[in-house]
Amino acid sequence: MYSEKGFLNKFKVFALFGGIPVFVFLSVVIVPFLLGIYMTITNSTGTDISTEFVGLQNYIGAFKDQRFLDSILLTFQYTFWSLIITNVVAFLLALLVTSGLKAQNFFRMGFFTPNLIGGVILGFIWQFVFTRILVHIGTSMHIGIFSHSWLADPSHSLWALIIVSVWQNSGYMMLLYIAGLTGIPKSLTEAASLDGANYWRTLKSIKIPMMVASFTVSIFLTLQRSFMVYDTNLSLTKGGPYRSTEMISMHVYNDAFLYQNYGIGQAKAIILFLIVAVIAITQVLLMKRKEVEV
């Protein structure tokens, strides 16, 4: 009797504080996800959930779509360069603002501020930069690379998107690296200094190995953000020119909602989910092995 009362009391507490979040999570995330999987193996549309089983036809159709394959390759290119440049810049910024620089808290705030700007607004801001400011500078100072808008050039438009991504995300990743740097015991760096190690040797042999956990989280977040980018892609380039910047998220959305290919579009969304999940889990497992216990 006592155990039943205890269970009921615990259930009431859970229902009061955890019931609503669990219900929202199930109704907003889990149920739509399972429904989306069901739609990929049936002949369903956006307004009608069919019971006609089609097997793997939607997945086969997805892989037969050359534009989908091109968007995957383009997203991998974008993610690769965004991952490297963002984390290198973020790590260098973290080293800068933890070096005892005057007004370093002001610089931390300044570097982090772009992350607070929404992707849509960010895209419009940089659209003005690329089409007006840089073009004016390029033509007035005879700098060939800036004499025309990068957003209108298929060979430069992807790099414009990468630059905006790095500018937005570096400040956030910088905070993760700051946490890693400040978490390193001072006794280790002091002992290295007494042994005659210079700054670069200390950075290479002590600080970087002790910050693997920060690298793990930062790389994971950068991968996730890069693969799932949509808002900045939409407001900055809209996938153009000539689909040269149509990332996989935008392609999936356009295919499902603009071109009304709901079954194949949903199958592409599941494929995107599996790609991100496999890469992210593999990255975390590999990086976890390199973490150093203090």
Residue 61 has pLDDT above 80, yes or no: yes
Distance CA 239, CA 218 (A): 27
- Site of tokens 């910050």: 211
259 occurs within a structural domain: yes
Distance CA 18, CA 247 (A): 37
Q: How many domains does the chain have?
A: 1
49 occurs within a structural domain: no
What is the CATH classification number for the domain harbouring 144? 1.10.3720.10
Among the residue ranges 27-31, 65-69, 160-164, the one predicted with the least confidence is 27-31
Residue 186 has pLDDT above 50, yes or no: yes
Alpha helices (runs of H) in 98-151, residue ranges in sequence order = 104-112, 119-128, 134-140
pLDDT, residue 1, reads: 47
DSSP-based three-state secondary structure for 53 = strand
**Could you tell me the pLDDT band of residue 28, with boundaries at 50, 70 and 90?**
confident
208-226 residue pLDDT tens: 888 888 899 999 999 989 9
253-290 residue pLDDT tens: 998 888 878 888 889 999 999 999 999 899 888 887 77
Note down the domain range covering 83.
Answer: 65-288
Give the predicted TM-score (pTM) of the model.
0.87
78 occurs within a structural domain: yes
pLDDT, residue 24, reads: 85
pLDDT, residue 89, reads: 96
269 occurs within a structural domain: yes
Distance CA 258, CA 15 (A): 41
34 occurs within a structural domain: no
Tokens matching residue 108: 């931390």
281 occurs within a structural domain: yes
149 occurs within a structural domain: yes
What integer is the mean pLDDT of 84-95?
Answer: 94
Burial label for 4, CB within 10 Å (0-12, 13-18, 19+), is exposed
Distance CA 229, CA 69 (A): 17
129 occurs within a structural domain: yes
